Structure 1
Amino acid sequence: MDISFLNAYFIPLVMAACLVIGYCIKHISWLYRISNEYIPAILALCGALLAVADAGSASLEIIIKGAVTGLASTGLYEAFSQLINKHSERKDCDETKK
């Protein structure tokens, strides 16, 4: 399955902004009431709004690009946090063997 067509739907500036928004939702203590299951939907909406603001006009293509980018930022955050946790677990295991 070739998914290279998805590369046309990413907006780097929106990706960075959605990563920051998602990180803030996850780690700011007064936002604890927001369940983790709502974060992808929030970031899809934020991505769509930011893409429209970045483009200066609203079209279905721009809204979809922004929403896909917002969802991709969720996946990127999860992949990065799992990589960091895996690395720290391996480091902890190495320290206990000494």
Structure 2
Amino acid sequence: MDFLTLFQDHFVIVVTLACLLVGYLIKKASFFKWVPNDDIPVILAVIGVVSNCIVGGLSFESVIYGAFMGVAATGLHQGFKAFVEGNKNNTEGNKNNTEGDI
């Protein structure tokens, strides 16, 4: 199977993973510390739009899907982070809350 054919068949996954990688680099790289965390989803949405328009052509549908893939990459990062780190706030809250304990 040709790489280009594979890319075109699974471009949704590729664009989302590319946005996830770029978002991770922005978050962790020392030379991107000037970028506020609130701007990362917007940057990934724009990268998703550009990437999806390159693959699928310029259309309203490509713009919407690309923005969704960029923002989905942000959600994937947050979900994975919560899974790996666990819910620290919930466990600390249970230690201080003694109501209902026997």
What's the TM-score, normalizing by structure 1? 0.75
Q: Which runs of 4+ in 1 moved over 3 A?
A: none
The aligned length equals 78
- Give 1:38's aligned residue: 39
**CA separation in 2, counterparts of 1:34 and 1:67?**
19
Larger radius of gyration: 2
What's the TM-score, normalizing by structure 2? 0.72
- Give 2:95's aligned residue: none
Identity %: 36
Shift of 1:11: 1.4
- Give 1:67's aligned residue: 67
- Give 2:15's aligned residue: 14
* Paired AA for residue 75 in structure 1: G
- Say yes or no: does 1:51 pair with 2:52: yes
Instruction: Give the aligned CA root-mean-square deviation in angstroms.
Output: 1.6
* Paired AA for residue 85 in structure 2: N
**CA separation in 2, counterparts of 1:18 and 1:46?**
7
- Give 1:76's aligned residue: 76
**CA separation in 1, counterparts of 2:74 and 2:80?**
10
Describe the superposition over 1:19-47 as per-residue Cα deviations: whole angstroms up to 9, x where unpaired.
00000000000100100000000000000
- Give 2:91's aligned residue: none
> Secondary structure of the residue that 2:86 maps to in structure 1?
helix
**CA separation in 1, counterparts of 2:81 and 2:31?**
21
- Structure number with greater CO (CA < 8 Å, separation at least 6) is 1
**CA separation in 2, counterparts of 1:20 and 1:36?**
15
